Amino acid sequence: MEKKELIYEGKAKKVYAMDDPDYCMVEYKDDATAFNGLKKGTIRGKGVVNNKMSNFMFKLLAEKGIETHFVKEISDRETIVKKVSIVPLEVIIRNKAAGSLAKKLGLEEGMELKCPILEFSYKNDELGDPMINNSQAIACGIATQEEIDVISDMAYKVNDYMKEFFAGVGVELIDFKLEFGKFHDKIILADEISPDTCRFWDIKTHEKLDKDRFRRDMGGVEEAYAEMMKRIGLA
């Protein structure tokens, strides 16, 4: 398969067409944004970390029966993936109170939740990716009940597998974002799984090992991303 023209450039990735229309190539960038693009910067080496870690996690999840868009890693920053039609829902799973949930509900960050929370946001940059409930998504034609059921079931399974895996390398999975797409009308896991899309805390020290270090000007951003690569055995 050969790379062709650029078909999309987002905040963290470029997507190129391939000569086979079923596939495309993703190139991960070092550009970093937060707060719906209001804060911008660069995290050196982020593209390499996010590419390699996402591919590692996708392969791990595939072994557990979760079908993903991953096909083949072709360089440190580039991966061939199945070309999906993204369901315009950002799927958030929260295992502990943090970020917007803690702020919105006045909860102490790190508070134990009685069960995981599943949230949806409407994937729309112009609107700031607003939260949306199942009824709104169905009524507005954003997703069907069947799609929501399949996505929810997959998201909870991904959470179970990832919590167990990361706990095994001394990392607590606080919360994370997933995206799903349709490949030949079948819903599969897409986008990425990385320190950009997950909150990772060291189990013992609660040190943040994710993009919150960039969001909150905490410093040590590159070091945190590198530490996650080391924890999962990729560095």
For residue 37, pLDDT over 80 is answered with no
Q: What is the mean pLDDT of residues 141-146?
A: 97
If pLDDT is split at 50, 70 and 90, which confidence band does 3 have? confident
Distances (CA, A) of 202 to 140, 158, 227: 40, 20, 10
- The three state secondary structure string of 37-55 is CCEEEECCCHHHHHHHHHH
If pLDDT is split at 50, 70 and 90, which confidence band does 134 have? very high
Which residue, 28, 37, 6, is CA-closest to 124?
37
Residue 231 lies in a domain: no
For residue 4, pLDDT over 90 is answered with no
Q: Domain boundary at 44, 63, 82, which? A: 82
| 119 shares a domain with 54 | no
For residue 148, pLDDT over 90 is answered with yes
Mean pLDDT of the chain: 96
**Residue type present at position 100:** S
| 214 shares a domain with 183 | yes
Other Cβ atoms within 10 Å of 28 Cβ, number: 24
């069947």: which residue's tokens?
A: 146
Residue 229 lies in a domain: no
If pLDDT is split at 50, 70 and 90, which confidence band does 231 have? very high
For residue 1, pLDDT over 80 is answered with no
For residue 185, pLDDT over 90 is answered with yes
Residue 65 lies in a domain: yes
| 114 shares a domain with 152 | yes
Residue 171 lies in a domain: yes
| 145 shares a domain with 64 | no
**pLDDT at res. 54:** 98
User: Which DSSP symbol is given to 127?
Assistant: G
**pLDDT at res. 23:** 97
Other Cβ atoms within 10 Å of 135 Cβ, number: 9
For residue 128, pLDDT over 80 is answered with yes
Write the CATH number for 178: 3.30.470.20
Higher pLDDT, 235 or 49: 49
Domain span including residue 119: 85-223
Query: The pTM is what?
Result: 0.95
Q: How many domains does the chain have?
A: 2
| 114 shares a domain with 14 | no
- Residues 68-81: pLDDT tens digits? 999 999 999 999 99
